[in-house]
Amino acid sequence: MNLRPWNNIKINECNEPFISIPKSIYRLTPHPYMSLGAPYLAGADPWILRKSVLKRLVRAQQHLSEINPQLQLALFDAWRPISVQKYMFNYTIVETCKSKGLDINAITVNGGINDVIEEVGHFWAKPSSDPLTPPPHSTGAAIDLTLADLTGTPLDLGGEIDFIGPESDPEFYKKDSIRMPLSTHHTFHKRRSLLLSVMEHAGFVQHPKEWWHFSYGDQLWSWLNKKDNAIYGAPLEVSKDITLSEPSLVT
């Protein structure tokens, strides 16, 4: 599988701590990958981020509230151990084969398995243990999220988070939005644009193929901002001992 262009970016790890995400920022529950049986080790908490990433997430929520007091950010996923990345990568390959009517136990290289792996790889980062190419979520720099109303009901942004297909492109509905200003496609694009706007306002960058994925400080962020290096890599382990609580982040 080919590396992404940002995987060549150097990482100068800043050793910034992981911080618990306050519950004042709404999260979608139950956690989607835990529900599927992904192997989170005892004590592993997906709701943590690097300190500066969390500060920017809080800033994004505050900015959204100023723009539209009836909406809030809705977190889907944050920190992801590499073991979970591997589990979900393989899980998505199996599910994609099922959706295409392919028997994963029967297909060969010539039968399409490589094509499926390549397709999944456009959306899911390879679960690499190489410190030079860490999956973004394993660094504590990336977060998946959407918009919700104040009751916690997610808005329809024209595609499910983690969907493997062209609809996941952030600008998939842009042309239809311009051509059909009264359509649902216009609504989808407007909502995606709002999410992008509040996240960019806080310093995040968006994954070019995933409308829900944003990050700060990782290789993708560095590449898009034309910086010399990323500041977050994947730690060998994140334990409760280094997961701190910092209430001042939510003020």
CATH of residue 240: 3.30.1380
Q: Which of 66, 210, 237, 246 is catalytic?
A: 210
Assess if residue 190 is contained within a domain: yes
pLDDT at 238: 55
**Each residue's pLDDT tens digit, 158-173:** 999 999 999 999 999 9
Residue 68 lies in a domain: yes
In this prediction, residue 132 carries a pLDDT of 92
Residue 2, exposed/middle/buried by CB under 10 A (0-12, 13-18, 19+)? exposed
Instruction: List, as one string, the DSSP characters of 71-129.
Output: EEEEEEE----HHHHHHHHHHHHHHHHHHTT--TTT--TTTTHHHHHHHHHTTSPP---
- What pLDDT, on the 0 to 100 scale, is given for residue 62? 98
**Averaged over 123-134, what is the pLDDT?**
88
What is the CB neighbour count within 10 angstroms for residue 194? 17
Residues 198 and 25: their CA atoms lie apart, in Å, by 14
Work out the angle at residue 25's Cα, subtended by the Cα atoms of residues 21 and 27, and round it to the nearest 5 degrees.
85
Note if 210 is an active site residue: yes
In terms of residue numbers, what domain contains 175? 5-82+131-250
Which secondary structure element, helix H or strand E, spans residue 142, and what is its range?
strand 142-149
* Closest C-alpha to 210, from 166, 149, 243, 147: 166
> Rounded distance, CA 195 to CA 135, Å?
23
The pLDDT of residue 114 is 79
Q: Is 117 within the bounds of a domain?
A: no
Q: Which strands sit side by side in the sheet containing 18-20, from one edge to the other?
A: 48-50, 18-20, 243-244
User: What pLDDT shows up at residue 41?
Assistant: 84
For residue 69, is pLDDT > 90? yes
Q: Is residue 116 part of a domain?
A: no
Average pLDDT over residues 80-104: 88
Name, in order, each residue with C-beta under 8 angstroms of 140's C-beta and a sequence gap of 6 or more: 18, 48, 49, 50, 53, 78, 79, 232, 235, 238
pLDDT of 229-248, one tens digit each? 999 998 865 544 334 444 33
The answer as to whether 120 is a domain residue is: no
Residue 96 counted as domain residue: no
What do you get for the CA distance between the two ends of the chain, in Å?
44
Query: Based on the number of CB atoms within 10 Å of its own CB, is 195 exposed (0-12), middle (13-18) or buried (19 or more)?
Result: buried
Residue 179 belongs to some domain of the structure: yes
Look up the pTM and report it.
0.89
Evaluate if residue 109 carries a pLDDT over 90. no
Lowest mean pLDDT among 58-62, 95-99, 135-139: 95-99
pLDDT for the residue 183: 92
Q: Which of 62-66, 140-144, 176-180 has the lowest mean pLDDT?
A: 176-180
The closest alpha carbon to 47, from 63, 12, 73, 23, belongs to 23
Task: Read off the pLDDT of residues 21-59 as tens digits, 9 standing for 90 and up.
Answer: 999 999 999 999 999 999 998 778 999 999 999 999 999
Split into its structural domains, the chain has a count of 1
What was the pLDDT predicted at 2? 58
- Whether 125 maps to a domain, the answer reads no
